[in-house]
Amino acid sequence: MPQKCTHLDQIKDVEPKTPQGCEECLESGDSWVHLRLCLECGHVGCCDSSKNKHATKHFHATQHPIMQSFQPGEDWRWCYVDEIEVCRMLIALPEPPTAIVAGDAASAFQAIEGLGNLGKRVPEDMSVVGFDDCPAAANFPGLTTVRQPAEEVGQLAGQFVSRLLEGAPASECRVTLPVELIIRASTASPRSE
């Protein structure tokens, strides 16, 4: 996403108010898919893949712009205001794209959230592709992504280091490994009309 977020000064050192789950869903006895933490007030709400979308509702009610994933092992953040702006810009183009390819999974999830806030559906209205098949990408509803052979990269890097130490020329320690496209639910054929 191109521009720089101007809302970072609104981030506070928050304690999750309801670390056990979405505040509103816990009250009503509903379930959720993923959790988001508001970095301005500590509200914990459910994501846009959840039935109630309480994190987004929290943004609309409070204008608190910055959320962080509250899933174990995930720390990506996004700014509702900026994401909505970028997505609005894309949609307003004379020939709007039919797909967004994001540089990593976090940006891809941000794009999905931003599009959702503008009433656009992924993948019906816009496909989204991520890069790096991080564990979060496999989560519901599933991000189409480019998987890199991380294990092979590590092994070869180790071998190359020892060969370099043995005096092999650097040009012999260079290889391009194939990547793999993992197709999940965030992409579809462009609509024909």
Residues 148, 180: Cα–Cα separation, whole Å: 7
Q: Does 34 bind Zn ion (CB under 5 A)?
A: no
- Of 38-46, 100-108, 122-130, 169-177, the window that binds Zn ion (rule: CB under 5 A) is 38-46
Q: What is the DSSP string of the chain?
A: --SPPS-GGG---PPPS-TTS-HHHHHHT---S-EEEETTT--EEE-TTSSS-HHHHHHHHH---EEEE-STT---EEEHHHHHHHHHHHHHSSS--SEEE-SSHHHHHHHHHHHHHTT--TTTT-EEEEES--GGGGSTT--EEEEP-HHHHHHHHHHHHHHHHTT--GGGS---PPPEEE--TT--PPP--
| Interaction of residue 41 with Zn ion, rule CB under 5 A | yes
Least gap, CB of 21 to Zn ion (angstroms): 8
Q: Decide: is 48 part of the binding site for Zn ion (CB under 5 A).
A: no
Comparing CB distances to Zn ion, the nearer of 5 and 156 is 5
Write the binding mask 66 to 85 for Zn ion: x where contact by CB under 5 A, - elsewhere: -------------x-xx---
Least distance to Zn ion from the beta carbon of 185, Å?
Answer: 21
Among 40, 48, 83, 132, contact with Zn ion (rule: CB under 5 A)? 40
Q: Is the peptide bond preceding residue 123 cis, with omega within 30 degrees of 0? A: yes
- Closest distance of CB 4 from Zn ion, Å: 8
CB of 15 to Zn ion, least distance (A): 12
Size of site (CB under 5 A) for Zn ion: 18
CB of 148 to Zn ion, least distance (A): 29
CB of 145 closer than 8 Å to CB of 136: no
Judged by CB under 5 A, does residue 38 bind Zn ion?
yes
Enumerate binding residues for Zn ion (CB under 5 A).
5, 7, 22, 24-25, 32, 38, 40-41, 43, 46, 52, 54, 62, 64, 79, 81-82
